[in-house]
């Protein structure tokens, strides 16, 4: 996949977890050879990088960064401001202190990797399904202004990084993706530095394919932002049978085809690559087998689908 992606100037990525990266040669071999961009699945989140106020820990983040650089890969940064995996000390701050802590966190993390991490998920999952703003501790304490502030802080910390807003269930045209569209349009109109939209792509074959994905990508592109598929996986009921894996492969193919059809869609990242290490079974009991490689690191039909689309 990597060679074909590079031939067409496309980024094909995977999320990486630090445990198997240290412990498993098969994991390292595939991660290093099949992808040209990596995302830290957890290691760059706030609870990992600033567990106590002002005390930063970049051991996991550096492990990912070092692996990527050793393999000639780029890194997509994930994520700066989120309601999950953010320590209690942040959540308990008053408004002024929270805003200051957010700016300091962004300044320190983005600043550390300035020039080495060319794109960041600056804010993650800020919407409800109905298109309203998520009632997170960020929103409760700071109102919507935290979003613009986060982007401005990130731009200041690395003026060359591409800055993204990232969310799930925004593949098709729906209330949530339209809220995202409206917010990006409005903030860009105000000069807020948003360069990119991340469409996560946590899909399940039981809900049908979002057939307006390409149209949705296109409308964001028409706003003047890049689009990235940031966290693709396609879960099926487990144990998976051959029919399910074939259907799953069509989903992977449809997603990458939609992205490749829009020139501003420049990256597709899978959320892990092997079913051996996936968040899905823990979160959706009875579902899984969501990734392009099986538990034994063998490529599945979904791998072939991605490969063939990139080669085509």
Report, in Å, the least distance between residue 19 CB and ligand 9MR. Answer: 10
84 sits near ligand 9MR (criterion: CB under 6 A): yes
Q: Where are the beta strands (DSSP E) in 89-225?
A: 119-124, 162-167, 196-199, 202-204
User: In this structure, are residues 172 and 213 in contact, taking their beta carbons and an 8 Å threshold?
Assistant: yes
Binding mask 158-177 for ligand 9MR (x = CB under 6 A): ----------x---------
27 sits near ligand 9MR (criterion: CB under 6 A): no
Report, in Å, the least distance between residue 163 CB and ligand 9MR. Answer: 17
Half-sphere exposure of 90 (CA within 13 A, CB side): 29
Q: How many residues bind ligand 9MR (CB under 6 A)?
A: 9
Closest CA to 82 of 156, 138, 161, 4: 138
Helices (H), the chain: 2-7, 18-23, 25-34, 46-49, 59-70, 88-91, 95-112, 137-142, 145-157, 175-189, 213-222, 242-260, 280-283, 301-311
100 sits near ligand 9MR (criterion: CB under 6 A): no
Angstrom distance (rounded) from CA 205 to CA 288: 11
- Nearest residue relative to ligand 9MR (C-beta): 279
Nearer to ligand 9MR, 59 or 85 (CB): 85
Known active-site residue 231 = yes
Angstrom distance (rounded) from CA 49 to CA 32: 24
Which one of 279, 302, 307, 310 is in contact with ligand 9MR (CB under 6 A)?
A: 279
Among candidate residues 34, 50, 231, 244, the one labeled active-site is 231
303 sits near ligand 9MR (criterion: CB under 6 A): no
Which one of 22, 53, 59, 85 is in contact with ligand 9MR (CB under 6 A)?
A: 85
42 sits near ligand 9MR (criterion: CB under 6 A): yes
Torsion angles phi and psi, residue 78, rounded to 5: -145, 120
Rg (C-alpha) for the chain, rounded Å, is: 18
Q: How is residue 134 annotated by DSSP?
A: P
Residues in 196-235 that interact with ligand 9MR by CB under 6 A = 200, 231
Report, in Å, the least distance between residue 290 CB and ligand 9MR. Answer: 11
19 sits near ligand 9MR (criterion: CB under 6 A): no
H/E stretch holding 14 reads: strand 11-16
Applying CB under 6 A, the residues found at the interface with ligand 9MR are 41-42, 84-85, 124, 168, 200, 231, 279
- Positions marked active-site: 231
């Amino acid at each position: 996949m990597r060679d074909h992606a590079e031939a067409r100037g496309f980024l094909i990525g995977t999320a990486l977890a630090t445990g198997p990266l240290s412990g498993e040669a098969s994991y390292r071999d595939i991660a290093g050879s099949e992808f040209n961009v990596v995302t830290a699945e957890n290691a760059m989140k706030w609870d990992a990088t600033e567990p106590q106020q002002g005390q930063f820990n970049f051991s996991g983040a550096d492990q990912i960064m070092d692996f990527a650089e050793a393999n000639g890969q780029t890194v997509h940064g994930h994520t700066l401001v989120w309601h999950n995996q953010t320590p209690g000390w942040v959540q308990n701050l008053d408004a002024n202190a929270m805003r200051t802590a957010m700016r300091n966190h962004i300044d320190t993390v983005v600043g550390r990797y300035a020039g080495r991490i060319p794109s960041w998920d600056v804010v993650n999952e800020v919407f409800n399904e109905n298109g309203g703003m998520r009632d997170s501790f960020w929103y409760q304490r700071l109102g919507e202004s935290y979003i613009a502030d986060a982007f401005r802080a990130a731009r200041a910390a690395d003026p060359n990084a591409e800055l993204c807003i990232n969310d799930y269930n925004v593949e098709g045209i729906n209330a949530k993706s339209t809220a995202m569209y409206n917010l990006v349009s409005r903030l860009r109109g105000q000069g807020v530095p948003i360069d990119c939209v991340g469409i996560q792509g946590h899909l399940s074959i039981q809900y049908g394919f979002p057939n307006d994905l390409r149209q949705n990508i296109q409308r964001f592109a028409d706003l003047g932002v890049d689009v990235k598929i940031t966290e693709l996986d396609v879960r099926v009921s487990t144990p998976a049978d051959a029919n399910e894996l074939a259907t799953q492969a069509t989903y992977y193919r449809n997603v990458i085809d939609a992205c490749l059809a829009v020139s501003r869609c420049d990256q597709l990242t899978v959320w892990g690559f092997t079913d051996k290490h996936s968040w899905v079974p823990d979160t959706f009991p009875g579902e899984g087998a969501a990734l392009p490689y099986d538990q034994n690191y063998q490529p599945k039909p979904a791998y072939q689908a991605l490969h063939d689309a990139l080669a085509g």
